């Protein structure tokens, strides 16, 4: 058996060095080296059509300008702003109506005082709950049908009084809203107390409605507001809406607000200290901060001169498809640390830290050592 191991060791030792180095390409690794990525960009291998761009001050400036242009092109909630009234009656509202009369009354029995005639003191007659119908009208005895939608309770009272003139002595009508259905907004989704909320003359805003609903269940940066007004629907991240700003819309009746959990994240792959999917957790995140959250390049296996940012850039003028681009950051150059602070990470970006080119030969040497250690040991034992 010892002779067999010694013979096998001699056979391995006789293999050409080039053959052993060629075996490096089949060794396992966490991803390609910088050289392999560059070779993958050659036309005969690049089926995706990506390009590799080294970060420079000019490139960073172009990336910032494209980010600003892309943000400006996105419609915001401010584009939905419009005025509206929340003090008028609409279909479905429930009203209370009280009519006050003096003397001989239509809605109450006149009280005669002996020797003095009828009691001239005013008396009120409450009506049962009056519901505004689908067409926006109500019907009252001796008054008939009244179109009340779009009118305030005071205006409705004036209409009732006008219809009773000549039928009643000095009629006075007092109208109030018992159940408000039309002047409301709806808040749903990832809030603690979803429901329908009344609007008042205080001109409540979007963030006020979210607060009335108990606030968002998740963090503002992980939450998207889907706002529906009429036949228009827009989305905006809750963390970007500031109280009193243009995007903090003044609400109008019928608005619908839905909060949706949609966290932003980026991926860190390759020879990093921690390969993972990492949430932003903050409003904006720079490339420097993103690399730091991943623990940075692994000293033992990483090539700090080859940190790559994989992303799809917005379509170029005249094109419809987004452009796949690989940006390269050389962390061996001090200027790169300044540039990386200016590059904003986007949702679903991929940060790849390349393996050092020396990793695979080192792995091969380690494997060979593991293979030959028993043989060497056996040889030594056999000679003793």
What CATH code is carried by the domain that includes residue 299? 3.10.560.10
Residues 61 and 132 in one domain: no
Is 130 within the bounds of a domain?
yes
Backbone φ and ψ for 334, nearest 5 degrees, come out as: -55, -35
The tokens describing 44, both together, are 């005969």
Residues 316 and 282 in one domain: yes
Which residue range(s) make up the domain with 232? Answer: 183-261
Is 224 within the bounds of a domain?
yes
Residues 276 and 356 in one domain: yes
pLDDT along the chain (384 residues), means of 10: 47 46 49 88 90 95 90 88 90 93 68 55 78 94 93 95 86 92 94 94 94 94 95 93 94 96 93 88 89 88 92 78 92 94 94 77 48 55 58
The pLDDT tens digits for 165-201 are 888 878 899 999 999 999 999 999 999 999 999 999 8
Is 4 within the bounds of a domain?
no
Q: Among 261, 285, 320, identify where a domain stops.
A: 261
Residues 107 and 193 in one domain: no
Is 372 within the bounds of a domain?
no
Residues 168 and 199 in one domain: no
Residues 256 and 314 in one domain: no
Q: Among 125, 155, 179, identify where a domain stops.
A: 179
Residues 138 and 151 in one domain: yes
Residues 99 and 163 in one domain: yes
Residues 276 and 354 in one domain: yes
Is 236 within the bounds of a domain?
yes
CA angle at 24 for the pair 18 and 25, rounded to the nearest 5°: 110
Contact 185, 253 (CB under 8 A): yes
What b/e string do you get for 14-41 counting C-beta neighbours within 10 Å, with b at 16 or more?
Answer: eeeeeeeeebbeeeebbebbbeebeeee
Residues 110 and 159 in one domain: yes
Residues 169 and 204 in one domain: no
The tokens describing 174, both together, are 């007092």
Residues 273 and 357 in one domain: yes
Is 25 within the bounds of a domain?
no
Backbone φ and ψ for 125, nearest 5 degrees, come out as: -125, 110
Is 66 within the bounds of a domain?
yes
Is 120 within the bounds of a domain?
yes
Q: Among 208, 237, 261, identify where a domain stops.
A: 261
pLDDT at 110: 54
pLDDT at 119: 57
The pLDDT tens digits for 243-252 are 999 999 999 9
User: What's the CATH code of the domain at 161?
Assistant: 3.30.1950.10
Number of domains comprising the chain: 3
**What whole-number distance in Å separates Cα of residue 242 and Cα of residue 59?**
32
């Amino acid at each position: 058996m010892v002779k067999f191991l010694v013979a096998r060791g001699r056979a391995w030792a006789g293999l050409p060095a080039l053959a052993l180095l060629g075996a490096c390409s089949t060794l396992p690794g966490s991803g390609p080296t910088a050289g392999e990525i560059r070779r993958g960009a050659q036309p005969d291998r690049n089926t995706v059509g990506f390009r590799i761009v080294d970060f420079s001050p000019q490139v960073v400036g172009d990336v910032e300008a494209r980010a600003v242009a892309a943000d400006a092109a996105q419609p915001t909630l401010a584009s939905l702003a419009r005025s509206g009234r929340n003090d008028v009656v609409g279909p479905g509202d429930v009203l209370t109506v009280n009519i006050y009369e003096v003397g001989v009354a239509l809605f109450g029995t006149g009280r005669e005082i002996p020797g003095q005639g009828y009691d001239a003191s005013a008396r009120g007659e409450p009506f049962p709950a009056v519901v505004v119908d689908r067409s926006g009208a109500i019907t009252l005895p001796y008054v008939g049908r009244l179109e009340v939608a779009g009118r305030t309770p005071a205006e409705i009272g004036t209409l009732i009084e006008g219809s009773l003139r000549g039928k009643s002595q000095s009629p006075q009508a007092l109208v109030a809203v018992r159940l408000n259905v039309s002047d409301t907004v709806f808040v749903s989704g990832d809030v603690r107390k979803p429901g329908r909320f009344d609007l008042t003359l205080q001109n409540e805003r979007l963030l006020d409605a979210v607060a009335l609903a108990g606030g968002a269940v998740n963090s503002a940066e992980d939450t998207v507001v889907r706002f529906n007004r009429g036949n228009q629907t827009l989305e905006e991240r809750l963390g970007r809406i500031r109280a009193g700003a243009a995007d903090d819309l003044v609400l109008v009746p019928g608005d619908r607000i839905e909060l949706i959990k949609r966290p932003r994240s980026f991926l860190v792959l390759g020879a990093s200290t921690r390969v993972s999917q990492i949430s932003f957790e903050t409003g904006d995140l720079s490339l420097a901060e993103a690399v730091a959250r991943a623990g940075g390049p692994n000293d033992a296996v990483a090539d700090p001169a080859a940190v790559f940012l994989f992303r799809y850039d917005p379509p170029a003028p005249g094109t419809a498809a987004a452009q796949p681009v690989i940006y390269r950051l050389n962390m061996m150059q001090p200027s790169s640390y300044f540039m990386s602070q200016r590059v904003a990470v986007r949702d679903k970006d991929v940060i790849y830290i390349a393996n050092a080119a020396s990793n695979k030969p080192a792995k091969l040497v380690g494997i060979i050592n593991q293979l030959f250690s028993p043989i060497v040991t056996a040889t030594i034992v056999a000679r003793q």
